[in-house]
Amino acid sequence: MKKLDIFYFTYGSNMDESRLKKRKINYEIIGLGILQDYRLRFNKISKRDNTTGFANIEKFDGEVVEGIIMKIDEESLFKLDKAEGYPEHYSRDIMNIKFNEFNNVNCVVYYANDNWISESVKPTKEYIRHLFAGCEYLSEKYFNKLVKMLSEYENN
């Protein structure tokens, strides 16, 4: 097995392990991660359909985004870059993610480029299923907030 040495924080559809396996991503789940002073949005325009929105994060004091911290290898990072449309659709940066009460981890995090953001898009049911596939790692409070947020998209 290849050495896993890059920490990656996923908050969107890559929380679905079947999606990662299909993309041939070599990963090891570390656990719940929390990105502080950001909020989750579904405003990243799909490259295939300009009415579909994918997960994105934006700076917002006092909010948090929960997701999964994983260890991946360099080859898997390049595969993720391709899947995410980096650098055209998404940028990536190293961000400090809270791992537990005592530790933070510097992780690769993807976020949408400004020219691929629209407030008029919304996630599909299929995309939401990918998101919920990884919810066992999220806190109950955050999961309930996510359910409420996504139901508002369905009602609009």
Closest CA to 65 of 152, 155, 139: 139
HSE-CB at 123 with a 13 A cutoff on CA atoms is 23
Q: Is the pLDDT of residue 61 over 70?
A: yes
pLDDT band with cut points at 50, 70 and 90 for residue 10:
very high
The whole-number pLDDT of residue 150 equals 85
Segment 122-142, tens digit of pLDDT: 999 999 999 999 999 999 999
The whole-number pLDDT of residue 156 equals 65
In this prediction, residues 59-70 reach a mean pLDDT of 98
Q: Is the pLDDT of residue 154 over 80?
A: no
The whole-number pLDDT of residue 1 equals 52
Rounded to the nearest integer, the mean pLDDT of the chain is 94
Its pTM stands at: 0.95
In this prediction, residues 6-17 reach a mean pLDDT of 97
- Side chain identity at residue 56, one-letter code: N
- Cα–Cα dist 151/67, whole Å: 19
Please name each of the domains of the chain with its CATH number. 6-155 (3.10.490.10)
Q: Is the pLDDT of residue 21 over 90?
A: yes
Asked whether the CA dihedral 74, 59, 121, 89 is positive or negative, the reply is negative
